[in-house]
Amino acid sequence: MLSVSNRRIQAYQLDPYCLPLYGQRLIEASAGTGKTYTIALIYLRLLLGVGQKNAFSRPLSVEEILVVTFTEAATDELRSRIRHNIHQMRMACIRDGIGFDENSIFRILLSSIADKEVAAQWLLAAERQMDEAAIYTIHGFCQRMLVHNAFESGMLFEQSIIKDEHTIQKQACADFWRCSCYPLNYSISKVIVDEWSDPEALLAEIKPYLQGDIPNLVNQSIEAQSIKQRHQTLIDRIKKVKALWILNSASFIDLITNSAINKRSYSRRNLPGWIAAVTGWAQSATVDYKTPKELARFCQSELIDKTQTGQVPEHEVFRAIDNLMQQSLTLRDIIISKAIIDVRQTIVKEKRRRGEIGFDDLLSHLDQALHAEGGERLSNTIRTRYPVVMVDEFQDTDPQQYRIFQRIYQGHNHCGLLFIGDPKQAIYAFRGADIFTYLKAKDQIESQYTLDTNWRSSPSMVAAINQLFSRATKPFLFEQIPFNTVDSASSNQHLAFIHKTAKLSALNFCYLDKEAVSTLDYQQTMAYQCASQICDWLKGGENGTTWLYRNDVKQPVTAADIMVLVRSRREAVMIREALSKFNISSVFLSNQESVFATDEARDLLWLLQAVLSPEKERTLRCALATRLVGLSAQDIEQLNQDENQWEIRVEEFANYLLIWQRHGILPALRAIMVNHRIAENLLMDNIDGERRLMDVMHLSELLQEAELQLESEHALVRWLAQQIDHPDPLVENQQIRLESDSHLVSISTIHKSKGLEFPIVWLPFACQFSQQKLATFHDRDNFQTCLDLAQQEESIRLANEERLAEDLRLLYVALTRSKYHCSVGIAPLIKGRPSGESGNTDLHQSALGYLLQNGQPENATLLRDALGALASENISITPVSDINLSPWYPKENTPVKLLARNFTGQIQNTWRVTSYSGLTSHDMYSDKFTASDISIEIAIQDLAPKMDVDAQGDSSLVQGEIAEWSVHTFPKGATAGTFLHSLLELLPFNQHPQESWLAEKLEQAGFSADWATVLKMWLINIFDTPLLSDSLSLSTITPENQLNEMQFHLPIEKLLLPSALDRLTHQYDVLSQRCPPLSFEPVTGVLKGYIDLVFCWQDKFYLLDYKSNWLGENGLAYSQEAIQNAMIDHRYDLQYQLYTLAMHRYLRNRLPNYDYQKHFGGVIYLFLRGFDAKNPGYGIYHTIPPYAFINSLDELFNATNRGEQ
């Protein structure tokens, strides 16, 4: 049994009105005893300076009282509660307590206030400052201290915080794998790959040890060896045993049979086969560390065990085998130990190189700064800023966090350091929380207090928990975590749960009465039992036989009153499926995945790709086969055989594209959903239908938001694909939303439920447990985390002991969530085979079994006796019922007849965010035509260049045989254009790109790496070709004189008509005079855009735009006449006119004494395929719009003298 200290410090019942608010104090608050209430009360005392000799030395402001907790939700709750208390206390001071007689906080505090008018003024100031109150998460506190004390802490000013370090960890582990494993020979590589298939598998194993304090690696004798040396050492040991076996094995049958060994275990019938198996292994080549199972029978220790009396068969070979089998025949230990150290170091270097810092780095950086030279000065600064700190949820601390607060406050008793927590609820070891750190702190703090009144649950519930956890001598295994019984609040004396006229006991054990039950049988039985009982309760709630009573007020039980607690997503799915069989809807509250990781996100991607390219058969076929549209394989095959029906589908999706372009993504998606009855079809799925529909709606909203920031439909689809490839559940707006409100049965993990309360709780799988696989444990003397890579038996035992201790705490958290009633599933659980004649089960290894059986293995009979002894007024034992209930069909409420109001106002539908593309995309058709009036073939042909203005011809990445590899045969279309743009944005113009880097980028974009040589020469040509003069090329533009992808927003403050814009452009620009009239819908709002490149040369500013258009098969196709025709075809004239206006406004607001003709050098369009040394000037278009034109355009947009960016 665990024991970390024999020292016991007397804990006193807490009186929050008299608690000394200086020095170090530890407050242990059992579940439901009012921890948040206590913190808020102490906060008021600190603000008011009350408490006589136990008060702080002076009243404090909200900026001086530091409250630290561990989640954003907890900080929000504390801030809200404290703000409310401050306001109410101020009102009590103003009214001299009148109307506050029922509230003990205000009544008692008022009696301690000498001048209520002054106190009200202090409280008003505090209320107004609550947004600046120092209520932070631990990471938020560390970040502020590092930033506010940057010089003392050594924090870099420009470091950015990353929420998820998985990408960096993955890269660092891949680096380790490449450097440490690639150079090894095949035999060693095979051994390693048998352990971990790839670097990600290795990362999964070492990930828990990459943050926080590095664990103490047990058995580090192999530290000085390389992997290759370790491999050879193991091979040599095995070869030695093999050689000995071959020399001596002929005598082993006689040696063993002539000894006093148990002949049943070692019979003459079995021995020859065993010896033959080992001999075959001994004669084989030694390339790995595998040994036959028969080898263990010839260990000297095994032979001794099987010889009760008399002569033991002994031989040096048996001793050598024994010695070999006790060795760690693996590379796991050396690779894991090296990987942990190397990967951690690589992560640190990579984050430093990127100028990034992780959340856990905030703690380690502050910890290091406090313990480095100058740390005392930093400690003093923090103490002065925060004289009093309250650390909430202290049971979830870790060694770093504790060291930080000890370094700041230890030995400074004029300050206050209050730790508040409950070690019985320390359940977050997987996040790095360390109960041993709590126990170490508890051993060092002299002043300890407890809260002993439960304000949450009924008296019966409180009594049942007291009775269950008082059974065991050490209910939480640790001597320093005793279970102290608590009282129930007088206000809860009349809480009761009534079902069919009977008051149900607070705690019910639903018992599966068998001699032994497998895990699967247990789970299936309890899932059904849980669902059927909930069904019975819900039926009773509707017909008036199931009630919750509180102070003589009865409330029928509804689905919203019931919570099912589980350990994992898999268990949640089992419960949801069981509930669905009874027609009961449910919601899983612990689902914190990114919505982009769902099947619905991938289905939407297929749909949108089909909308963009309905002419591509494979893409459209995949969209129709998604679960959202739901065509079967037979339906699609029928379409393949019916050309007319297929054309109808193509036209349908082309129409969606027109809706998208004219009205936005959300109307397009709505049209798809209506036409294909997506909502109705999804809701037919009783288990996940509502969940999936919510995901579709959520994704639609996110797409609409992203659309406002992106320029084209193609860009939006690329954005969606990127989000699916890299979902981030830490981004709040990505997290999956709850699909409904309070009309569902809730399901939650126990971890997620901590801190919450529910009227009725079901705990169906309380007997479940998982044995520790990794030997991670804590040293019982110094509390340090240890990792035994050799997986020694004692280390595994210690790790399992700690696992059981946490399972007990989890069970306590689960049972204390309920207000009225908790049902628990229990059975004589076994894992694997039954244990023979004793019939003992494995239940004692679970938390519930440990409490019932005091940690001892027992059979089903003894379990029944233990449950019988537990039965009382507050605890009932009921057998699993086989009642076959009919499904629950909730009564529909009679809807109130509603009438719509008549709309008499006017809707301004001209305001929108538009772009150059938005002003030109309507040129194809007049608005008087609808999509159905247009031939689908013409629509697709016309839409292609408009969807990506650089697109010409076939956009496929798949090419046939290429006659000549050149810039003119490089793939065409939107994807190629986007790829070239990205390269020009990434590459420095004054350096030649590396061919290997280009090959990698080509493959990432889906092109052949064989293009790398052509692409390199092409880019060098682009960089070095003279533009306006021999002295200007891209390579002569220095980084400080260029700006890539400059974004702008131009307000359109009065209605912009196409005719007015046409007149103005035709008046000043010869290219515009050759263009057809614009036909966009009148618009007000904002025009947005991105300029590929802005640069300064010889004190003039230029705009430059890259065009990847394919105009012909050689450089002669890019003459001035040809590129002017392309400019006209795509209305690039309007593009550079709008971009020039944006640049004009930008420079006017940034440059002193700005003069358009002096400072603006014009617009340059580079047709990238047209650069030809034999034809200078080809592929380059330069123009300077007249100032009078730009000035008139400025007036037309009517936003003069505003600082747009």
> Which residues are marked as active site?
1105
- What is d(CA 330, CA 332) in angstroms, rounded to the nearest whole number? 5
Q: What token pair was written down for 1132?
A: 């690039």
Identity at 1111, one-letter amino acid code: L
Closest CA to 582 of 628, 529, 625: 529
Phi, psi of 796, deg, nearest 5: -65, -40
- What is d(CA 736, CA 702) in angstroms, rounded to the nearest whole number? 12
Three-state SS for 746-768 is EEEEHHHHCCCCEEEEEECCCCC
**What is the dihedral sign for C-alpha 424, 429, 433, 438?**
positive
1096: left (phi over 0), alpha (psi -120 to 50) or beta: beta
346: left (phi over 0), alpha (psi -120 to 50) or beta: alpha
Identity at 787, one-letter amino acid code: L
Instruction: Enumerate residues 6+ apart whose C-beta is below 8 A from 1125.
Output: none
- What is d(CA 648, CA 13) in angstroms, rounded to the nearest whole number? 78
Closest CA to 859 of 834, 882, 883, 891: 834
C-beta separation of 347 from 172 below 8 A: yes
Q: What token pair was written down for 1138?
A: 């709008």
Closest CA to 266 of 234, 305, 232, 322: 305
- What is d(CA 1089, CA 1084) in angstroms, rounded to the nearest whole number? 16
3-class secondary-structure state, position 1019: helix
C-beta separation of 25 from 417 below 8 A: yes
For tokens 């650390």, name the residue: 391
Sequence-ordered alpha helix ranges (H) in 149-270: 150-153, 166-180, 186-195, 199-206, 227-248, 252-257
Inter-helix orientation angle 104-112/35-48, to 10°: 20
CA 1123, chain centre distance (Å): 49
User: What does each C-alpha distance from 700 to 154, 720, 751 come to in angstroms?
Assistant: 44, 11, 31
Q: Is 738 exposed, middle or buried (0-12, 13-18, 19+ CB in 10 A)?
A: middle
For tokens 């000037």, name the residue: 1177
Give kind and range of the element (H or E) at residue 692: helix 689-707
Sequence-ordered alpha helix ranges (H) in 299-418: 300-305, 316-325, 332-354, 359-371, 375-385, 399-409
Inter-helix orientation angle 359-371/399-409, to 10°: 40
The C-alpha angle with vertex 213 and arms to 207 and 215, in degrees rounded to 5, equals 70
Instruction: Enumerate residues 6+ apart whose C-beta is below 8 A from 480.
Output: 4, 5, 423, 439, 442, 443
- What is d(CA 593, CA 724) in angstroms, rounded to the nearest whole number? 12
Q: Using CA atoms in the order 895, 899, 900, 901, what is the torsion angle rounded to 10 degrees?
A: -140
C-beta separation of 408 from 451 below 8 A: no
Closest CA to 1080 of 912, 881, 1199: 912
CA 846, chain centre distance (Å): 29
User: What does each C-alpha distance from 39 to 19, 82, 122, 211, 495 come to in angstroms?
Assistant: 12, 8, 19, 30, 27
- What is d(CA 626, CA 633) in angstroms, rounded to the nearest whole number? 11
